Copies of this chain bind each other. A is one copy, B any other.
Amino acid sequence: MKQHQNFIENIYKELKDISKIYAGSNDILERLLKLHVNCIEALALCKQLDLISQVEGKKYFAFSYNNKISRAVNRNLFIMETNEIEKTINFISKEKLTETTPENITKALYTMAISFCSIIDLLKERDQKTPGTFFEIFACHWFSRMLQIHPKKEIDVLNLDKETKLPTDYIFDLGKNRPKIHLPIKTSTRERVIQVWAHQRVLDGVYGVGRFLGMCVCLSETKVDKKKLEVVEICLPEQWQVYQMFIAQMKRIYYLDVPNRYQVLNDVFPPINVRPYGDFFYEVQKIEQGNYVL
Contacts and interface: CB of A to CB of B under 8 A. Distances in A.
B201 A242 contact: no
Interface stretch (A104-112, A191-199, A219-227): A191-199
- Copies of this polypeptide in the complex: 2
Interface in A230-260: 238-239, 241-243, 245-247
Nearest to A203: B246
Contact of A166 (B167, B199, B206, B239): B239
A63 B239 CA distance: 41
Interface string A170-210: 00000000000000000000001011011101101110000
Interface in A141-181: 157, 159, 162, 164-167
Contact of A205 (B166, B206, B247, B269): B247
Nearest to A238: B164
Contacts of A159: 245
Interface residues of A, number: 27
Nearest to A126: B126
Contacts of A204: 246
A204 B246 CA distance: 8
B198 A247 contact: yes
Nearest to A206: B246
B245 A205 contact: yes
Nearest to A160: B269
A166 to B, nearest CB: 6
A199 B194 CA distance: 8
B242 A157 contact: yes
Nearest to A159: B245
A226 B157 CA distance: 36
Contacts of A166: 238-239, 242
Contacts of A164: 238, 241-242
Contacts of A242: 157, 164, 166, 202, 206
A166 B243 CA distance: 11
Contacts of A247: 198, 201-202, 205, 247
Nearest to A248: B201
A197 B198 CA distance: 8
12 contacts: A162-B269, A164-B242, A165-B238, A166-B242, A194-B198, A198-B198, A198-B243, A202-B243, A202-B247, A205-B245, A205-B246, A206-B246
Given A164-B242, A166-B239, 18 more contacts: A162-B241, A164-B241, A165-B238, A166-B238, A166-B242, A167-B239, A194-B198, A194-B199, A195-B195, A198-B198, A198-B201, A198-B243, A201-B246, A201-B247, A202-B242, A204-B246, A205-B245, A247-B247
The 10 closest A-B pairs by CB, nearest first: A205-B246, A198-B198, A164-B238, A194-B198, A202-B246, A201-B247, A194-B195, A166-B242, A157-B242, A202-B242
